[in-house]
Amino acid sequence: MTTLLDTLNRNFAIKDKLHFVEGSGGLIIAEVTTQHGNASIALQGAHVMTFTPAGEQPVIWLSDFAKFGRGKSIRGGVPVCWPWFGPHVSDPKLPGHGYARTVDWRLIQVQSLSDDRIRLEFELEESTATRAQWPHHTPVRNIITVGRALEVELATTNACDTPITIGDALHTYFKVGDVRRITIHGLEGCDYLDKVDGGKRKQQSGAITIGQEVDRIYLNTGSNCEIRDPSLQRRIKISSSGSHSTVVWNPWIEKANKMGDFGPDGYLGMLCVETANAAEDVVSLAPGQVHRLVTRYEVAPL
Ligand code: TA6
């Protein structure tokens, strides 16, 4: 019996660059190897799990205590939040951050690009289960390019004959040496909703530091950001387009323990800086319109 794994390796594998394996929890994983950087991507959720540039520490954080399984969200990597961000606007029974990250995506094409980059394009597989949560025809693709930098593009098409409102995010977990020592630059002066303080609207003064639970939606900003990490002696440069919000999150001790898949002190080694359209920044797509949420991660010396 030909398995999906056999079919993927027959149709898309590239010697020494791309192959597919069965990972924990029965998830199918694309393993990408280039001279400039390596990555692993679960087909479920088109979920980048790891990204490590050549000669560097991993850029993307994946919890050592992450739980893997069909229909389960993964603690770490680049979860795709779509077609809403956070709790569903009216139905609390629907999954937080939408369903995209826990359903199957189909691999549409693989390209071997110049300077040894590899690009994989996935499309969410609609089903009765997804249509029950989202009765609109809005095909969505996730296009992931692996090289010295990691590029992710979430492209939504409104194939309906009426306008559709989408909330989305690339909910990226970055690996840091010690979250208490990092600073985040690029959001100075921006308004944000402080979810740790009742959602109050505040304004950012100076660089962002993390010394307690932080859960903020920075609004009306398409700014590029930078994480400066003195422990790992590096900067992570985050550039984006098609994004009007940036979410900054670290659960700190109590929330991380409650979530149960960070492990002891896991919170110290991670930081989420999410390229998003959330809260008042959700996007309205006219019929036929394509919305592209794009982000790019690259490391540089501090
Ligand atoms: O993006 C920050 C956030 O909305 C936090 O409030 C927290 O819920 C986090 O996402 C993780 O959510 P998850 O559903 O992945 O556990």
171 carries an active-site annotation: yes
**Can you give 109-141 as a three-state secondary structure string?**
EEEECHHHCEEEEEEECCCHHHHHHCCCCCCEE
List, in sequence order, every residue forming a beta bridge with 250; answer none if it has no partner: 214
Domain of 57: which CATH number? 2.70.98.10
Q: For the chain, how many structural domains are there in total?
A: 1
Q: Is the beta carbon of 88 within 6 A of some atom in ligand 1? A: no
Region 57-77 average pLDDT: 98
**Spatial distance between the Cα atoms of 59 and 144, rounded to a whole number of angstroms:** 15
Token readout for 22 is: 């069965």
Distance, in Å, from the CA atom of 187 to the CA atom of 208, rounded to the nearest integer, reads 8
- Predicted local distance difference test score (pLDDT) of residue 2: 78
Tell me what pLDDT residue 202 has: 98
- 225-229/183-185 β-pairing: antiparallel
**3-class secondary structure, 25:** helix
Q: Give the predicted TM-score (pTM) of the model.
A: 0.98
Tokens found for residue 229: 């990490």
* 171 Cβ below 6 A of ligand 1: yes
- Per the structure, the complete domain to which residue 199 belongs is given by 4-301
Question: How would residue 1 be classed by pLDDT, with cut points 50, 70 and 90?
Answer: confident
Residue 185 is a catalytic residue? no
Residue-wise pLDDT tens digits, 163-205: 999 999 999 999 999 999 999 999 999 999 999 999 999 999 9
Which one, of 87, 44, 88, lies nearest residue 66 by Cα?
44
Average pLDDT over residues 225-229: 98
Residue nearest to ligand 1 atom 2, measured at CA: 249
Q: Would you call 3 exposed, middle or buried from its count of C-beta atoms within 10 A (0-12, 13-18, 19+)?
A: exposed
Catalytic residue among 97, 171, 244, 291: 171
**Whether residue 274 has its Cβ less than 6 Å from ligand 1:** yes
